[in-house]
């Protein structure tokens, strides 16, 4: 197989690039493009030899794209114009301009990741890492399309596949969260940011759990709906703590909850759950808050790697 020449758009911290490597498909990323300066610092740190263009996609001319001579695009475009929580501006939202620009220069292969319910009409998937036995929920919409006549082996026109095609025989292996015992964990002390009864709304998990909630860019800054927190107290049952919690005064609630020794997942632990390889890292100047934000906007590497492999099987 002739190595693919891949263009990575909205590169973020390089989730698509890592997935391409994991897929073992012969390929070279000829360029990565993103306007997020913080994300680009992380990308350069992990892929120092990949050409990185810090400019708007819609500002790149067709001639400039042609010079890259790519035949595959990997991208995760902005989802905000299409989300139920946002203004639902759809194509009138300026954040879609870059994506519309890309539609005019479609290559042979295209893989897109975004949140669910964006309305694409081609071969679609709604997939979560849990389908691969990964203990983290992150339901996302994916689209794989080929601009050629032969159909994909798993072609299901008009359907959204909720699982990976049954091409391979292996069964997904279930993993536990496996919290780290590292120096970066010490930077996040137990009970940090959990000095309010509101933290009882958090999804609490233990290191041996085989599930965790989706981590968003607001993790570490907001209490509810941004991702799971870790219980580090081994000899305390959460059911016992919650049994009488609501009937207690606020101060006693906080004292009771502190017995669980809750802490946020570290950026490294979240990166592990998202499938980033052990060598993945952040430059020292990137703050923990920035790490959370970047990871919350990223994707699951294992899921994308599986889709890339399926596309070429």
Query: Structure tokens of 286?
Result: 């990137």
φ/ψ of residue 19, rounded to 5: -65, -40
What is the distance between the alpha carbons of residues 186 and 1, in angstroms, rounded to a whole number? 47
Segment among 146-160, 161-175, 250-264, 270-284 with least mean pLDDT: 161-175
- Give the model's pLDDT for residue 298: 96
Give dist(CA 33, CA 94) in Å, integer.
18
pLDDT greater at residue 235 or residue 176? 235
pLDDT at 241: 85
Whole-angstrom Cα distance, residue 100 to residue 83? Answer: 17
Ordered by where they begin, the domains of the chain are 4-167+299-311 (3.40.50.150), 188-265 (3.90.120.10)
The model's confidence at residue 222, banded by pLDDT at 50, 70 and 90, is confident
pLDDT value of residue 145: 79
Verify whether residue 209 is a known catalytic residue.
Answer: no
- The tokens for 289 are 């808050």
DSSP β-ladder status, 124-127 and 160-161: parallel
Catalytic residue, candidates 24, 79, 118, 214? 79
- Please determine, for residue 119, whether its predicted confidence score (pLDDT) is greater than 50: no
Find the angle CA(222)-CA(252)-CA(185) to the nearest 5 degrees: 45
Share of the chain above pLDDT 70, in %: 75
Q: What is the pLDDT of residue 120?
A: 38
Both tokens assigned to 308: 């890339």
> Beta partners for 114?
141
Q: What is the mean pLDDT of the chain?
A: 83
Q: How many Cα atoms sit within 13 Å of 312 on the Cβ side?
A: 20
Q: How far apart are CA 6 and CA 21, in angstroms?
A: 12
Q: What confidence score (pLDDT) does residue 254 get?
A: 85
Which residue did the predictor score with more confidence, 65 or 268? 268
């Amino acid at each position: 197989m002739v190595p693919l020449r891949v263009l990575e758009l909205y590169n973020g911290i390089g989730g698509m690039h890592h997935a391409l490597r994991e897929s073992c498909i012969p390929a070279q990323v000829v360029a990565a493009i993103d306007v997020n300066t913080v994300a680009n610092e992380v990308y350069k740190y992990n892929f120092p030899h990949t050409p990185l263009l810090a400019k708007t996609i819609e500002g790149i001319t067709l001639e400039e794209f042609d010079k890259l001579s790519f035949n595959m695009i990997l991208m995760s475009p902005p989802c905000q114009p299409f989300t139920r929580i946002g203004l639902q501006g759809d194509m009138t939202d300026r954040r879609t301009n870059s994506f519309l620009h890309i539609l005019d220069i479609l290559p042979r292969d295209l893989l897109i990741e975004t949140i669910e319910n964006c309305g694409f009409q081609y071969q679609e998937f709604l997939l979560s890492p849990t389908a691969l036995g990964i203990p983290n929920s992150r339901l996302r919409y994916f689209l794989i399309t080929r601009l050629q006549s032969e159909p994909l082996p798993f072609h299901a026109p008009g359907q959204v596949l909720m699982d990976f095609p049954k091409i391979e025989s292996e069964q997904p292996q279930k993993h536990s969260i496996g919290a780290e015992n590292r120096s970066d964990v010490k930077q996040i002390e137990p009970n940090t940011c959990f000095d309010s009864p509101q933290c009882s709304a958090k999804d609490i998990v233990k290191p041996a759990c085989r599930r965790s909630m989706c981590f968003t860019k607001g993790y570490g800054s907001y209490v509810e709906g941004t991702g799971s927190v870790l219980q580090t107290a081994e000899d305390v049952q959460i059911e016992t703590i919650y049994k009488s919690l609501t009937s207690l005064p606020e101060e006693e609630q906080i004292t009771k909850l502190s017995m669980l020794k809750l802490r946020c997942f570290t950026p490294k632990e979240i990166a592990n759950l998202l499938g980033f390889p052990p060598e993945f890292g952040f430059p020292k100047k990137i703050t923990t808050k920035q790490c959370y934000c970047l990871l919350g906007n990223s994707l699951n590497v294992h899921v994308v790697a599986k889709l890339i492999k399926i596309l070429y099987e």
